[in-house]
Amino acid sequence: MRTVGELEKMKTHPKNILRVTAFLLGFALLLSESRAQLITSETFSGLAGTGLIGSDSSGWSDSGWKGGSDTRFSVINPTTPLSYQIAGGALLNGGNEALQLTTSPLPDPSGLMAYRSFTNQNATIYMSWLMQVTSSGSANDLLSVDLLNGTNALYSVEFQPSGTPSPTGLLLAKTSSLGGLAGTLSGNFSTTYFVVAEFTPNGTGNNTFNVWFDPSYNSYNSSNVRIQESGLGAGQLNGIGFSISSTALGGPTTSALFDSLKIGYTWGDVVPLAVPEPSSYALLGLGLLALVIAYMRRISHPS
């Protein structure tokens, strides 16, 4: 049986302090690795050029984007990469390449859609992306992100100019399942929007689809940015697409950039908190080590 004095010496023994320090540092590094577990993602890196063809990431069930060979799809180097600061969360930075959708040249043929597939999802999934409108045409133009079963759009988040071209790039954001108006987006041609969607399948035909525009990290239950639809048919989600259409015969055209597409199983997967970089943990470890060395010197050479 150890005495109280012996236990106190054990607490302050250099070897024990080193063990505690190593444990704390290892725990911190473990936290740094617990990042979002995504189903898949797309940054469009390395795909620059006319058309949307190929792949830059794993997690998809196909070899690359299909149907995107039309010149109205292209991956470009934006003058300024898309960026969005989530209130209470992480700073999202797009890469040096982004997908551009445009209705130019007019008129557009029907059925322009670039799409990719992933494994059938039987549970709730979340997806997010960055978007920036770079030109605003007429109400005849439509750019959309489609949630697919095969090549059929179960639901879409649509971006449509409000009518007369606006210098502020005012758009109407719609979910197309029932043609319901979801809300308005306003800003200028350098504003980056952050869009989050939640899809819950139900085999009885009572799927639910929720959309948030520019949410904060804590916006999940916030009704002022959440658009809900339910009872909208059945079908598993297994793909995502980008579509372009316009019935205009001439006049101004609509263009938008998309980047940082993420698909995951939780809100936190696609609306991340700020996570310190590994360099921050390295500095923490050095700081802890310096404290241990200073303590060992003090007990080795008491004044």
Q: What is the pLDDT of residues 110-152, one digit of tens each?
A: 879 999 999 998 889 999 999 998 988 888 888 999 999 899 8
For the cut 80, the answer to whether the pLDDT of residue 46 exceeds it is yes
Lowest-confidence segment of 92-106, 127-141, 160-174 by average pLDDT = 160-174
Residue-level pLDDT at 132: 93
Closest-CA residue to 295 (of 82, 14, 79, 106): 14
Residue-level pLDDT at 236: 79
Query: Half-sphere exposure of residue 70, counting CA atoms within 13 Å on the CB side?
Result: 22
Determine the average pLDDT of the residues in 17-26: 49
With a pLDDT cut of 70, the percent of the chain lying above it is 66
Please count the residues of the chain: 303
Question: How do the domains of the chain map onto residue ranges?
Answer: 36-276
How does pLDDT run across 215-236, given as a tens digit for each residue?
999 999 876 667 777 665 556 7
* DSSP one-letter code for 225: G
The hierarchical CATH code for the domain 36-276 is 2.60.120
Residue-level pLDDT at 158: 84
Give the start-end residues of each E strand in the chain: 38-42, 49-50, 52-54, 65-68, 73-76, 83-85, 91-93, 98-102, 112-121, 125-135, 141-149, 152-161, 171-175, 181-185, 192-200, 208-213, 226-230, 237-246, 255-264
For the cut 50, the answer to whether the pLDDT of residue 27 exceeds it is no
Residue with tokens 């992480």: 90
Residue with tokens 């802890």: 288
Whole-angstrom distance, CA of residue 197 vs CA of residue 2:
60
Confidence of residue 103 (pLDDT cuts 50, 70, 90): very high
Confidence of residue 281 (pLDDT cuts 50, 70, 90): very low
Residue-level pLDDT at 115: 97
Closest-CA residue to 137 (of 282, 252, 224): 252
Residues in Cβ contact with 49 at an 8 Å cutoff, skipping those fewer than 6 apart = 74, 75
Determine the average pLDDT of the residues in 245-270: 93
Confidence of residue 288 (pLDDT cuts 50, 70, 90): low
Residue-level pLDDT at 243: 96
